């Protein structure tokens, strides 16, 4: 008798424990980070870190694309960052090495006709090296390996595994997403939403990158055809962090010093490798990450329809937008565009997340 009661107790306790574990898993917000993951530190790695550091999230994987740097070195920087924070369980999945149509050679010819472009990512002459070479790796070489799958198929597999549950965070050119959509037309509608840093409308700034070309933004510009495919796809929701709001943020030595006081692996990684370059150190991708984690820091937003100029003239790769009144008849999608933010709240969350202990897989979620 006593034994059977004990067995019932064990059975009930097991069910309760399993229910807790399942509900904890369900509480977490599933996200795949697609990123042109240059490094170490910098906007690309910091944006990835912020999403991993939050106890709200379950990062299903990091898919990588050429953009700020070449694919091969970006994969190496990401693997090494995950080693340093002890999260090698997160798969790093290599994607596209080249944009769909744009080439370096044609871009150089375009610049001769229409003027030079300030930031060309991996193709920028002062940082250029061959595609499969690693640039400087001050943080050391990784010993872990990337996933044995390509980004597009990984993205497709995940939205089928968890239909309508996965947020696609895009911090780079949209090549991998365009490939996923081209292979599986259901991809966009099976995701929960698309959140991306990109586009430029009318930024209020004296930054020479934007004063004469306010509609040119690197992520959309580097692979215009991919962005065109992605922005026309049937997403349930699209949220955009454009240059216009990015330029209201700054990485400063004061912020780096605050993070350095943290004794956690993430804080030490930023403290060791974050550097300021020139006069403008916007927190581009980081804002897209933190605003997704806490939408209340966005104090103003607007709805626009968005696409990219894919004609091969002077406006090739520029952001196109419309309102409800003047949008074209074709299937353009509405985009929630962030306009203004509470900067103090943003900087506080930024420091809090980067100095926090790194959550381990299976830890309970927290909103
Ligand atoms: Ca990026």
Look at residue 16 in the predicted model and tell me its pLDDT. 53
Look at residue 91 in the predicted model and tell me its pLDDT. 98
What is the bridge-based pairing of β-strands 298-308 and 319-322?
A: antiparallel
Look at residue 1 in the predicted model and tell me its pLDDT. 47
Taking the centre of ligand 1 as the mean of its atom positions, its distance from the CA of residue 36, in whole angstroms, is 5
- For 309, the domain range is 31-355
- Residues with Cβ within 8 Å of residue 3, at least 6 apart in sequence: none
Entry field: residues in the chain: 367
In a domain, 146, yes or no: yes
Look at residue 309 in the predicted model and tell me its pLDDT. 98
Taking the centre of ligand 1 as the mean of its atom positions, its distance from the CA of residue 67, in whole angstroms, is 7
Taking the centre of ligand 1 as the mean of its atom positions, its distance from the CA of residue 155, in whole angstroms, is 18
Q: Are 239 and 292 in contact (CB under 8 A)?
A: yes
Taking the centre of ligand 1 as the mean of its atom positions, its distance from the CA of residue 68, in whole angstroms, is 7
Taking the centre of ligand 1 as the mean of its atom positions, its distance from the CA of residue 171, in whole angstroms, is 4
Taking the centre of ligand 1 as the mean of its atom positions, its distance from the CA of residue 57, in whole angstroms, is 19
In a domain, 280, yes or no: yes
What pTM, to 2 d.p., does this model score?
Answer: 0.93
Taking the centre of ligand 1 as the mean of its atom positions, its distance from the CA of residue 317, in whole angstroms, is 17
In a domain, 366, yes or no: no
Q: Which residues surround ligand 1, an ion (CB under 5 A)?
A: 36, 44, 171-172, 285
* Domain at 163, CATH number: 3.90.245.10
In a domain, 25, yes or no: no
Taking the centre of ligand 1 as the mean of its atom positions, its distance from the CA of residue 38, in whole angstroms, is 8
In a domain, 8, yes or no: no
Taking the centre of ligand 1 as the mean of its atom positions, its distance from the CA of residue 341, in whole angstroms, is 20
**Burial (0-12, 13-18, 19+ Cβ within 10 Å), 325:** exposed
Q: How many domains, in total, are found in the chain?
A: 1
Taking the centre of ligand 1 as the mean of its atom positions, its distance from the CA of residue 282, in whole angstroms, is 12
Taking the centre of ligand 1 as the mean of its atom positions, its distance from the CA of residue 23, in whole angstroms, is 33
Taking the centre of ligand 1 as the mean of its atom positions, its distance from the CA of residue 217, in whole angstroms, is 11
Structure tokens at 72: 């091969």
In a domain, 20, yes or no: no
Look at residue 15 in the predicted model and tell me its pLDDT. 54
Look at residue 8 in the predicted model and tell me its pLDDT. 61
In a domain, 362, yes or no: no
Mean pLDDT by 10 residues, the chain (367 residues): 59 54 68 98 98 98 98 98 98 98 98 97 96 96 98 98 98 99 98 98 96 97 98 98 98 97 97 94 98 98 98 98 95 96 98 97 79
Taking the centre of ligand 1 as the mean of its atom positions, its distance from the CA of residue 121, in whole angstroms, is 10
> Look-up: residue for tokens 């911090």?
171
Taking the centre of ligand 1 as the mean of its atom positions, its distance from the CA of residue 163, in whole angstroms, is 26
Structure tokens at 160: 């089928």
In a domain, 364, yes or no: no
Taking the centre of ligand 1 as the mean of its atom positions, its distance from the CA of residue 348, in whole angstroms, is 22
Taking the centre of ligand 1 as the mean of its atom positions, its distance from the CA of residue 35, in whole angstroms, is 5
Taking the centre of ligand 1 as the mean of its atom positions, its distance from the CA of residue 262, in whole angstroms, is 25
115-154 residues labelled b (16+ CB within 10 A) or e (exposed): eebeebbbbeeeeeeeeeeebeeebeebeeebbeebbbeb
Task: Say what angle helices 71-85 and 42-53 make with each other, to 10 degrees.
Answer: 40
Taking the centre of ligand 1 as the mean of its atom positions, its distance from the CA of residue 43, in whole angstroms, is 7
Distance from CA of residue 234 to its chain's centroid?
Answer: 20
């Amino acid at each position: 008798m006593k034994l059977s009661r004990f067995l019932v107790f064990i059975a009930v306790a097991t069910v309760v424990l399993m229910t807790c574990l399942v509900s904890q898993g369900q509480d977490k917000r599933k996200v795949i980070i697609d990123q042109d993951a240059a490094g170490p530190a910098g906007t690309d790695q910091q944006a990835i870190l912020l999403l991993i550091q939050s106890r709200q999230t379950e990062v299903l994987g990091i898919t990588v694309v050429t953009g700020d740097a070449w694919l091969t070195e970006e994969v190496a920087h990401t693997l090494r960052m995950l080693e340093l924070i002890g999260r090698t369980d997160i798969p790093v999945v290599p994607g596209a090495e080249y944009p769909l149509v744009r080439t370096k050679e044609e871009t150089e010819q375009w610049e001769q006709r229409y003027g030079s472009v300030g930031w060309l990512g991996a193709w920028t002459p002062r940082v250029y090296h061959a595609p499969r070479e690693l640039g400087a790796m001050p943080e050391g070489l990784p010993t872990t390996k990337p996933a044995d799958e390509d980004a597009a198929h990984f993205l497709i597999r995940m939205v089928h595994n968890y239909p309508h549950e996965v947020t696609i965070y895009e911090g780079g050119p949209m090549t991998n997403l365009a490939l996923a959509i081209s292979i599986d037309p259901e991809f966009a509608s099976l995701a929960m939403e698309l959140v991306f840093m990109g586009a430029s409308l009318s930024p209020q700034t004296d930054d020479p990158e934007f004063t004469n070309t306010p509609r040119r933004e690197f992520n959309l510009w580097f692979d215009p055809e991919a962005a065109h495919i992605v922005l026309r796809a049937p997403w349930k929701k699209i949220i955009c962090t454009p240059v216009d709001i990015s330029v209201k943020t700054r990485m400063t030595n004061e912020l780096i010093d605050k993070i350095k006081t943290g004794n956690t692996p993430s804080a030490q990684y930023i403290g060791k490798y974050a550097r300021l370059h020139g006069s403008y150190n916007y927190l581009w991708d980081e804002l897209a990450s933190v605003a997704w984690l806490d939408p209340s820091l966005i104090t103003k937003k607007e709805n626009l329809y968005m696409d990219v100029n894919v004609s091969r003239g002077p406006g090739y790769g520029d952001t196109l937008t419309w309102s409800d009144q003047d949008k074209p008849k074709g299937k353009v999608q509405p985009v929630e565009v962030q306009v203004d933010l509470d900067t103090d709240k943003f900087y506080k969350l930024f420091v809090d997340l980067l100095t926090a202990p790194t959550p381990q897989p299976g830890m309970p979620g927290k909103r």
